[in-house]
Amino acid sequence: MSATLVANVVIAGVLTGLVYGLMALGLSVIFGVVRVVNFAHGEMMTIAMYAAVLLSGAFKLDPMLAALPVAAAFFCIGYALQAGLINPFITRPEHSQFILLVAVATILTNVLLMVFGPDARSVQTDYQLDSWELGQVIVDKARVYAALAALGTTAALFAFFRFSRTGTAIRACADNHFGALVTGLNVKHLYAFTFGLGAACVAIAGCMMTLLVEVSPTVGPSYTLLGFVIVIVGGLGSMPGALLGGVLIGVSEALAGLFIDPSAKSMFSFALLIVVLLFRPQGLLGRKA
Amino acid sequence: MSARARALLVALAAVLLALPQFAGSYLLSVATLALYFAYTGQAWNVMMGFAGQLSLGHSLYVGLGAYAAAAVFTKFGIGPWAGAWVAIALCVAAGAAIGVLAFRFGISGVYFALLTIAFAEFTRIGFDHIGWLGGPGGLFLKVGQRSSWDLANLRGTPAMFYYVMLALTAGAFALCAALLKSRAGYYWQAIREDEEAARALGINTFRWKMFAVIISAAMTALAGVFFAFYYNNLFPEQIFNIGQSIEIILGPIVGGVGTLFGPVLGAALLTGLADALNNLVAAMGWDIPGVKQVFYGIVLLLVIMFLPNGIWPPLARRLGLGR
């Protein structure tokens, strides 16, 4: 096994990991503000992937471009979901929230199954098989585009939270729910807005993901679990943590696939999760609760 | 327990005991499944309903219990009654390991729940790579159902399996009723309501939370043993699946977390609902995969939205049964 091969695999892992990171970022933002764990996250991602596949099939729309309308639609759906369905549950016990979102996830997965059938689908682009050669290292174009889009979205989200008034208000809600209410912030609206942002993140991640893998209705739960692993490793509620966690998991999956067995790759992710939970339960970049 | 509740229990027991006399094999298999979920739900309820520790990875104990009993049976010819002790020992060890790690490091709430998922998933993928136990290809027991009863080897008619599951469910119910009235039960409820306050009162919260995990794991192990000998085939993908964990906890949550009747009622309703949907979908000719689960999801959504404490507490009030 040559060093070049390892380098290739690690680079691919980092690039895929950035897309994973964007997906997990949505989960992390929602938990960090609304304090609800979105157990339907992977299912939402799957729907975004189907949207990209359909737009690509019907209008020859590149997933990179499809990401924009899909993200806008997901923002609205996320907003409605939080305002209509989840908001009454934010004061309920965790197991109640869990069942609510499991029910949502079940409905989403099986509606996809009803409409599209169990077969896997994928998008076709003309750059999918292209790659750049840097010396001996080969980098897939699609992977680079996907990773750049993920990084761009993350940067935009970061700027939004840092500089915009709404973003600042959302951070205030996250820091002190009661204080936010007292100062007259419309917390319900801000929570729904946040959920919309999280949904938009997962929408863009889903569109990018179609450049890398195919999609079938039943992949949702494994993406949900992947999202959990990443945010816990990086730090639930931490934005840079989600990205770091994504890259770590992306690389560990790629290396486990290369050195051991592709079917064992997520075992290492879960092992990493268990180790992090035990020794740094707030995650690598998380703040202590 | 009030006199009315006791009368209800006796009536229920009479119906359940007589069921194989008039039920066909199909109804019997549905009833067995309902009892299986009533039992596992009761076991999960000890941890979450009594002690307030949310486990989303109970498939771990079902799977370990099933594989332990099946492995000693197929590889060494050791029968299920001895194998059950192996299963219990293994599950108690796993539960204790998770408990010690989590509670010593102060992991609680969502983080604890995710840790239990992580252990179950880790084990699922691990079992896919244990060639000795068949890996992803599955582990098979010799065909189980016969015309005569062989309780020693858990080989017999569907009615025998039904009665075994009924006995387990009744035992679990009695055990939980006793636990709830014991010192442990009161400590658990104190921990569930306010762990800090419980510790301030001098309760060794670590010890009692461990006790809850161990009891729950040991009970679930027996469900795994039953699963192995009833279905006669085990696949890591199926038995350690997070879907299995979710199915286990739906019953008690729909029925009423922390109540004795809740897990039983919830399991009966949900199993009945799933079966009715099966028949409805077949009768209407909607033979598209996924239809049934969509209905199921919608019903679940409605229950959790409008009956946040489950169906049993309001029903018990209506029937004048107290709690």
Query: Whole-prediction pTM value?
Result: 0.88
**Tens-digit pLDDT profile for residues B227-260:** 999 998 999 989 998 888 988 999 999 999 999 9
- Sequence letter at residue B53: Q
Amino acid at B264: V
Backbone angles phi, psi at A176, to 5 degrees: -155, 95
Q: Are B109 and A31 in contact (CB under 8 A)?
A: no
Rounded to 5 degrees, φ, ψ at A124 are -120, 125
Per-residue pLDDT tens digits for A90-116: 888 888 898 899 899 999 999 999 899
Residue B13, C-beta contacts closer than 8 angstroms, at least 6 positions apart? B170
Q: What is the largest CA-CA distance in chain A?
A: 62
Contact between B135 and B234 under an 8 Å Cβ cutoff? The reply is no
Q: How far is CA B317 from the centre of its chain?
A: 26
Instruction: Determine contact: B107 vs chain A, CB below 8 A.
Output: yes
A23-32, A104-113, A271-280: which range is least confident on average? A271-280
Which residues is A200 bridged to in the sheet? none
Closest to B125 measured CA to CA, from A270, A273, A258: A270
Q: A3 or B204: whose pLDDT is higher? A: B204
DSSP annotation of A285 = S
pLDDT given for residue B145 in this prediction: 57
The β-bridge partners of A132 are: A139
pLDDT score at B322: 60
Q: What is the largest CA-CA distance in chain B?
A: 62
What's the pLDDT score for residue A288?
59
The model's confidence at residue B1, banded by pLDDT at 50, 70 and 90, is: low
Q: How confident is the model at residue B8 (pLDDT cuts 50, 70, 90)?
A: confident
The pLDDT value given to residue A206: 96
Beta bridge partners of B234: B139
Distance CA A98, CA A101 (A): 5
At residue B152, does pLDDT exceed 80?
A: no
Mean pLDDT of chain B: 89
ipTM: 0.85
Token duo for residue A195: 């959920």
CB contact under 8 A, B301 and A114: no
Give the B window 39-78 contacts with A, CB below 8 Å: 48, 54, 56
Contacting residues of B for A31, CB less than 8 Å apart: 110
The residues that bridge with B144 in the sheet, in sequence order, are none
Q: How many CB pairs under 8 A join A and B?
A: 125
Which domains does chain A carry? 3-279 (1.10.3470)
* The pLDDT of residue A108: 93
Determine the Cα–Cα distance for residues A142 and A207; give it in Å rounded to an integer. 12
- Whether B201 shows a pLDDT value over 70: the answer reads yes
Residue B275 contacts A where some CB pair is shorter than 8 Å = no
Dist CA B72 CA B87 (whole Å): 10
Map residue B155 onto helix, strand or coil: strand
Mean pLDDT value of segment B3-10 = 83
Q: pLDDT, tens digit, for every residue of A125-159?
A: 888 778 888 878 888 889 999 999 999 999 999 99
Residues of A in Cβ contact (< 8 Å) with B111: 232, 236, 277, 281
Task: Give the residue from chain A lying closest to B308, CA to CA.
Answer: A96
Residue A151 has which token pair? 């990084």
- The residues near A163 (Cβ < 8 Å, ≥ 6 apart) are none
DSSP for B27-48, written as a single string: HHHHHHHHHHHHHHHHHHHIII
Residue A221: which H helix or E strand, with range?
Answer: helix A220-234
pLDDT digits (tens, 9 = 90+) for B46-80: 999 999 999 999 999 999 999 999 999 999 988 89
Nearest CA among A23, B111, A275 for reference residue A284: A275
**């520790």: which residue's tokens?**
B53
Say if residues B126 and B100 touch (Cβ distance below 8 Å).
no
Q: Report the gap between the CA of A97 and the closest CA in chain B (Å).
A: 9
Separation of alpha carbons B155 and B142, rounded Å: 10
